[in-house]
Copies of this chain bind each other. A is one copy, B any other.
Amino acid sequence: MDAALKIDQTGADVKALMSDIGRRAKAAASELARASSEAKNAALTAMADRLRQETTTILAANAVDVAAAESTGRQGPFLDRLKLDEDRIEAMAQGLEEIARLDDPVGDVIAQWERPNGLKIARVRVPLGVIGIIYESRPNVTADAGGLSLKSGNAVILRGGSESQQSAQAIHACLAYGLSQAGLPETSIQIVPTSDRSAVGEMLKGLDGAIDVIVPRGGKSLIERVQQDARVPVFGHLEGLCHVYVDGAADLEMAKSIALNAKMRRTGICGAAETLLVDRACASTHLKPLIETLIDAGCEVRGEETIQAADARVVAATEADWSHEYLDAIISVKLVEGVEGAISHIARYGSQHTEAIVTGDQAAADAFLARVDSAIVLHNASTQFADGGEFGMGAEMGIATGKMHARGPVGVEQLTSFKYMVRGSGQTRPA
């Protein structure tokens, strides 16, 4: 690690540094795969304690990051994501304690059966191996990702944004302390000690086969780069272009409440709704109150002429609005022909993330849930529930919209694979 700190950041040095990190992660993974639940939970608890003890140190490191960001003119939501305070550190500590309380997925028997020849076959969960995480400014991802990886028996390589480097390193030191307290390899959770961007490139190439999966957390340009260049599997989503469909049989008060929450609770998260679809069958009764509710809450509403006719404050929408993720207090609104129209619109413009139907009609709900091809489909609930914590998974590494392996919130189970254990009594296979 001393050598690592001395590097002069040439490409060859970064390549060698990352290769070492990969080798160490792989060695740690092989120990972690057989670590006991008790040891892992002891480490998580020790990490939480250490975060609380080191609050002053972490806040001092964070102040350096914040000052540097302010000096380069960063402001608003970026600074908000970067800034730590005592409450946020306490929340990180509690998150680790919550992960400690989750069931250990490793060794879990997913299925077992016996064959007519007496072979007993069991499908048993095993860790994936080594997780690589590439994230941006939020320092708390360091603790969440470290904790979830450890619980699922995986080694992890963390590559945070250069703007949060000091904060992430201070948090990482607490995680490493917890690992050593529990007698687990400190290299189970490593943080890339350089902000050289070529380190990301090396991770995307997989570090000579050391990395089993990459999880990107951040904006669209980061995800695009990762999806484009990664030579290893990726759990992630490019965007969350989430829809709320208000069906003709929707209760108006419920529709208003869900649309408002889905859009405005937090506008910058991936589960925030970006388009409201309204059944033409209830346009005369539901459209105007829905739009008013949103606009009165400070949301800009964009729509075509029929929507503009309902409220003078509606801004004209263009074709580009249907495929735009605002991540802001803006929503596009469109009339559709019933549940079929909603399904078609979502198939054409959606991002397979999260969509909700509001309706009292069970058949319409069933059709929507069955046929909308998204990771999460909800009936009579807000799209903002798209979250591992809300699903009861304790925490999440992120949300995946691909159909391979993980889909939806990525929690400890999604960070595992499985193997088949077959127990016999001397069986050989007949010709």
Task: Tell which of B121, B369, B377, B425 touches A380, judged by Cβ atoms closer than 8 Å.
Answer: B425
Most buried by B among A374, A382, A387: A382
Q: Does A113 sit at the interface, judged by CB under 8 A?
A: yes
28 contacts between A and B (CB under 8 A): A107-B370, A115-B392, A119-B381, A119-B385, A121-B392, A128-B403, A251-B426, A257-B428, A258-B428, A261-B428, A265-B428, A265-B431, A369-B421, A369-B423, A376-B419, A376-B422, A377-B419, A377-B421, A379-B423, A379-B424, A380-B425, A382-B427, A384-B429, A385-B422, A385-B427, A403-B417, A404-B405, A408-B419
Most buried by B among A34, A260, A373: A373
Q: Does A420 sit at the interface, judged by CB under 8 A?
A: yes
Chain A positions near chain B (C-beta within 8 angstroms):
30, 33-34, 107, 113, 115, 119, 121, 126, 128-129, 212-213, 233, 251, 254, 257-258, 260-262, 265, 347, 365, 369-371, 373-382, 384-385, 387, 390-392, 403-405, 407-408, 417-429, 431
Pairwise interchain contact A429-B385, C-beta atoms closer than 8 A: yes
Pairwise interchain contact B254-A377, C-beta atoms closer than 8 A: no
Pairwise interchain contact A381-B420, C-beta atoms closer than 8 A: no
Pairwise interchain contact A380-B419, C-beta atoms closer than 8 A: no
Q: Known: A115-B392, A385-B427, A429-B384. Is A419-B374 also a contact (CB below 8 A)?
A: yes
Task: Tell which of B380, B382, B424 touches A423, judged by Cβ atoms closer than 8 Å.
Answer: B380
Q: What's the nearest-Cβ distance from chain B to residue A92, in Å? A: 19
Q: What's the nearest-Cβ distance from chain B to residue A29, in Å? A: 10
How many copies, total? 2
Q: How far is the CA of A43 from the CA of B417 in the complex (A)?
A: 34
Q: How far is the CA of A30 from the CA of B417 in the complex (A)?
A: 28
Chain B hits for A265, CB < 8 A: 428-429, 431
Q: How far is the CA of A423 from the CA of B378 in the complex (A)?
A: 6
Chain B hits for A384, CB < 8 A: 428-429
Q: Known: A378-B422, A381-B119. Is A417-B404 also a contact (CB below 8 A)?
A: yes
Q: How far is the CA of A113 from the CA of B411 in the complex (A)?
A: 16
Q: How far is the CA of A373 from the CA of B376 in the complex (A)?
A: 33
Chain B hits for A369, CB < 8 A: 421, 423
Chain B hits for A258, CB < 8 A: 426, 428
Q: Known: A379-B423, A380-B426. Is A407-B418 also a contact (CB below 8 A)?
A: yes
Q: What's the nearest-Cβ distance from chain B to residue A271, in Å? A: 9
Q: How far is the CA of A429 from the CA of B379 in the complex (A)?
A: 14
Task: Tell which of B377, B381, B404, B429 touches A427, judged by Cβ atoms closer than 8 Å.
Answer: B381
Most buried by B among A381, A385, A404, A418: A381
Task: Tell which of B113, B115, B254, B374 touches A426, judged by Cβ atoms closer than 8 Å.
Answer: B254
Q: Known: A213-B404, A385-B422. Is A34-B428 also a contact (CB below 8 A)?
A: no
Pairwise interchain contact A408-B420, C-beta atoms closer than 8 A: yes
Q: How far is the CA of A380 from the CA of B422 in the complex (A)?
A: 9
Pairwise interchain contact A419-B407, C-beta atoms closer than 8 A: yes
Q: How far is the CA of A421 from the CA of B374 in the complex (A)?
A: 10
**Given A34-B370, A369-B421, A377-B420, 17 additional A-B pairs, CB 8 A:** A115-B391, A121-B392, A212-B403, A251-B426, A373-B419, A375-B419, A376-B422, A377-B419, A377-B422, A379-B422, A380-B425, A381-B424, A381-B426, A382-B429, A385-B427, A405-B405, A407-B417
